[in-house]
């Protein structure tokens, strides 16, 4: 891609790769939940908005969508402390939950979500993550994973750097300065 924004070093996952993998993930989920139970997808804002929107359009099983917004302290790094900025609207007891996350870096966020949501007694709890960085992260289970990428800061397809580059249709590595 020669019209890359000057902030960006290279494309890490192309639009075509994302689109075909998202459909595969939706097909896998559809095949795994065939007992007629409604799925409850929990999208984590802001990063997962595009992934969730594309994923749900390929799902062939009954599902509900809700969102949570979390905050960690650094805006452009992923840092330890996580807190809930916006919670789910309804109780999720006895629901079949799937956490839909953009990226797992250290694993702190997903680990926190697992603990919080498990405590609300869902019928089941799974996670669907578009990208995981190849680094030492917490041993947090990911049931549906799109891509493993190198340990670099990436933007696009929901992912941002200080709220920039979030709406690119592909995932690209940010240049280091
Ligand atoms: P973790 O808690 O360290 O796994 O980080 C997860 C959160 O940090 C993600 O949900 C993102 O919001 C953010 N994050 C981590 N790495 C990146 C990245 O490369 N680009 C954009 N956001 C990232
Ligand atoms: Mg996130």
Residue nearest to atom 19 of ligand 1 (CA): 153
Q: Write down the H helix ranges in 65-156.
A: 108-118
Is residue 46 within 6 Å of ligand 1 at its C-beta? no
Average pLDDT of the segment spanning 132-140: 85
Task: Judge whether 167 and 102 are in contact, CB under 8 Å.
Answer: no
Residue to substitute in 48, 73, 109 for testing ligand 1 pocket (most ligand atoms within 8 angstroms of CB): 109
Say which ligand is closest to the CA of 106.
1
pLDDT band at 146 (very low <50, low <70, confident <90, very high): very high
Residue 177 forms part of a structural domain = no
The CA distance from 140 to 143, in Å, is: 10
pLDDT, position 81 = 80
Question: Where residue 76 sits, what CATH number does that domain have?
Answer: 3.40.50.2020
Confidence of residue 40 (pLDDT cuts 50, 70, 90): very high
Residue 115 has pLDDT above 90, yes or no: yes
- The protein residue with its alpha carbon nearest to ligand 1, atom 5, reads 105
Instruction: List pLDDT tens digits, range 48-87.
Output: 999 999 999 999 999 999 999 998 755 555 556 888 999 9
Q: Which tokens hold the place of 96?
A: 């079949």
Residue 42 lies in a domain: yes
Which residues are known to be catalytic? 105
55 found inside a domain: yes
pTM value is: 0.94
Domain membership of residue 105 (yes or no) is: yes
Residue 73 lies in a domain: yes
Whether 7 is covered by a domain: the verdict is: no
Judged against a pLDDT cut of 90, whether residue 2 lies above it is answered with no
Instruction: With respect to residue 119, please indicate whether it lies within any of the assigned structural domains.
Output: yes
- Minimum mean pLDDT range among 5-9, 57-61, 132-136, 164-168: 132-136
Q: How far is the CA of 13 from the centre of ligand 2 (A)?
A: 17
Q: How many structural domains comprise the chain?
A: 1
Domain ranges, residue 89: 13-154
Predicted confidence band at 9 (pLDDT cuts at 50, 70, 90)? very high
Q: Ligand 1 within 6 A of 156 CB?
A: no
DSSP state of 164: B
Q: Examine residue 96 and state whether it is found in any structural domain, yes or no.
A: yes
């Amino acid at each position: 891609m020669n019209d890359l924004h000057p902030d960006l070093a290279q494309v890490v996952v192309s639009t075509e790769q994302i689109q075909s993998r998202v459909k595969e993930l939706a097909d896998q989920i559809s095949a795994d939940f065939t007992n007629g139970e409604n799925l409850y997808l929990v999208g984590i804002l802001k990063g997962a908005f595009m992934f969730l929107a594309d994923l749900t359009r390929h799902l062939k099983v009954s599902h509900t969508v809700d969102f949570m917004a979390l905050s960690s302290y650094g805006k452009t790094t992923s840092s330890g402390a996580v807190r809930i900025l916006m919670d789910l609207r309804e109780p999720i007891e006895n629901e079949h939950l799937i956490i839909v996350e953009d990226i797992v870096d250290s694993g702190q966020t997903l680990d926190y979500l697992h603990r919080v949501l498990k405590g609300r007694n869902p019928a089941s709890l799974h996670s669907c993550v578009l990208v995981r960085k190849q680094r030492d992260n917490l041993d947090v289970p990911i049931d549906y994973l799109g891509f493993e990428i190198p340990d670099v800061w990436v933007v696009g397809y929901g992912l941002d750097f200080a709220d920039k580059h979030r709406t690119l249709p592909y995932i690209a590595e940010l240049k280091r300065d």
